[in-house]
Amino acid sequence: MSVFRAGARALITGGASGIGLAVAELCLGRGMRVAVVDFNEQTLDLAKKNLSAKGEVQCVKADILSTNLYGVLHGLNTYIPSFQSRAPSAPPAAIVITGSKQGITNPPGNPAYNASKAAVKTLAEHLSWDLREKENVGVHLLVPGWTFTGLSGNTPGSSASKPAGAWTPAQVTAYMQQKMEAGKFYIICPDNDVSAQTDKKRMLWSVGDIVKERPPLTRWREEYKREAEEWMAGVEDVEKVL
């Protein structure tokens, strides 16, 4: 039985646009009852208008701090008790937490954002561990690639065209659903510019900084750039390296 089933409930923070909106549309299309939390009142009103035609939806405005920083924690605090007490015979349920590749490879330029997404990754990993005995509760870390969302110009009324290298929110959502139903925890989305193999090579190189006692962030250091590029070019299958 899928978690995307008629009558089930979905709470989506940041759900008025982008990937969150695409997930809300997926859930409503499956007959689920959806609650959307977002901070932009105009976007939220537009989302409510469009989503209400597709099913039962409740939209709640929250300030940006509540959405970006505490949205995950508030959602977990609300739902975790019911997950912990969930009977083995109950239908399947799932928690999906959205991270970022920047929380894994930690590129220079935005340390606060990287740190917040690294914290989200750690939270999701420990939540998966804590709920490991609940066979009917799945935990997943969604890590999108380059996606055409509001951050890249895809806002209501905008005439911006999707960059060729980006995925649409609907593509990310379809990939997420596929990996969730396959039981995967890490849902690392590729895009039209960066393949899954390239993502894995970058992650493995970043971990190598620690294992090989190199300085941090060597992929971006001039004295290591050539070595990193040659290593990545020479690895055909990352999983054979592990």
Longest dimension (CA), the chain: 57
Q: Give the per-residue pLDDT at 230.
A: 97
Q: Using CA atoms of 51, 53, 59, 65 in order, give the dihedral in degrees to the nearest 10.
A: 20
Q: Give the per-residue pLDDT at 195.
A: 96
Q: Give the per-residue pLDDT at 64.
A: 56
Contact present, 59 and 47 (Cβ < 8 Å): yes
For residue 10, the number of C-alpha atoms closer than 13 Å in the C-beta half-sphere is 30
d(CA 173, CA 144): 9
Q: Give the per-residue pLDDT at 73.
A: 81
9-192 falls under which CATH superfamily?
NAD(P)-binding Rossmann-like Domain (3.40.50.720)
Picking from 133, 96, 70, the residue whose alpha carbon sits closest to that of residue 4 is 96
Q: Give the per-residue pLDDT at 199.
A: 97
- pTM of the full structure: 0.90
Q: Give the per-residue pLDDT at 158.
A: 60
- Using alpha carbons, list the distances in angstroms from residue 202 to 82, 151, 169, 227: 38, 23, 23, 13
Which of helix, strand or coil describes residue 188? strand
Q: Give the per-residue pLDDT at 75.
A: 76
Q: Where are the domains of the chain?
A: 9-192, 195-241
Q: Give the per-residue pLDDT at 166.
A: 96
Q: How many CB atoms lie within 10 A of CB 126?
A: 11
Q: What is the pLDDT along the chain (242 residues), one digit of tens a residue?
A: 899 999 999 999 889 999 999 999 999 999 999 999 998 899 999 999 999 999 999 999 987 555 556 667 877 888 899 999 999 999 999 999 999 999 999 999 999 889 989 999 999 999 999 999 999 999 999 999 999 986 665 566 566 789 999 999 999 999 999 999 999 999 999 999 999 999 999 999 999 999 999 999 999 999 999 999 999 999 988 988 87
d(CA 160, CA 198): 28
Token pair 């590029």 is found at: 229
How does DSSP classify residue 115?
Answer: H
- φ, ψ of residue 200 to 5 degrees: the values are -65, -40
Q: Give the per-residue pLDDT at 197.
A: 96
Q: Give the per-residue pLDDT at 90.
A: 94
Q: Give the per-residue pLDDT at 156.
A: 60
Percent with pLDDT over 70 in the chain? 93
Contact present, 174 and 4 (Cβ < 8 Å): no
